[in-house]
Amino acid sequence: MTITPEAFSALVRPHLGRLHRFAYRLTGSAADAEDLVQELLIKVYPRRQDLAEIDRPLPWLTRVMYRLFIDQHRRQSRSPLHLVVDNTGEDGVDATLDSLPDDSPEPDEAHERELRQEQLARAVERLSEDHRTAVTLHDVEGYTLEEMQEILDCPIGTLKSRLHRARARLRELLEESG
């Protein structure tokens, strides 16, 4: 029995939001994230029969997408993971400029939050690739250790110690940048 397009859609649609988020973490750009999700769908549609037989499609799909990214994009020697805070509005203008600074001496709360996010994003970027991947998958995107094992094809013990060291390093970097 072949899987119809509608059935395929029902299989993948619930996961596309999370896949898109991770695609954005990987590529750092909205357009590239959409491209990566599109490439994933083009790649897995012919394999929808396999997909239908998998208990938990999300780690499988994430793994395929991650490998697609590594194969296609690393060749272009870009930094593999980006946690850039994209502040641009639709017309490409930095949206934070729209809010004029007010006169009060207390810093704008939203502005503070943005600064903190940028600081965090930069710290994560400075981690080694293995550390960055671990932190991004687990802490940023909320994948479990079991799921990560499937996505990265790496034993849980290794992932745990990687995460542990990654977080310690992240804290160091955050302290450095004040």
Partner 1 sequence: MRCEEAIEYLDEYLEDGLKDEARAVLDAHLQGCPRCREVFAAHQALVAELRALPVPTPAEDFFERAITRAVRAHEHQQDHHRTQHRRMAWRYAAGGALAASLVLGVILNVSPPTSGPAVAPMAAIPGLTIGLHEVQKVRLSVDSNQTLQHAVFTVELPEGVELAGFPNQRTVRWEGSLHEGKNLLELPLVAQDRTGGVLVARIDHAKKEKVFRLQLNVQPERGATRNAGAGLGWV
Chain residues in the site for partner 1 (CB under 8 A) = 5, 8-9, 12-13, 16-17, 20-21, 24-25, 29-31, 33-35, 37-39, 41-42, 44-46, 76, 83, 85-86, 91-93, 97-98, 116-117, 120-121, 124, 135, 138-140, 142, 144-145, 160, 163-164, 167, 170-171
The closest alpha carbon to 47, from 33, 71, 32, 63, belongs to: 63
Output the smallest distance, CB 25 to partner 1, in A. 8
- Cβ partners under 8 Å of residue 156, min gap 6: 145, 146, 148, 149
User: C-beta of 104: minimal distance to partner 1 in Å?
Assistant: 21
Give the C-alpha separation, 172 to 178, whole Å: 10
62 or 105: whose CB is closer to partner 1?
62
- Structure letter (DSSP) for residue 4: P
**CB-wise, 73 or 105, nearer to partner 1?**
73
> Quick one: 63 or 139, whose CB is closer to partner 1?
139
Asked if residue 165 lies in contact with residue 175, where contact means CB atoms within 8 angstroms, the answer is no
How many other CB atoms are there within 10 angstroms of residue 23's CB atom? 26
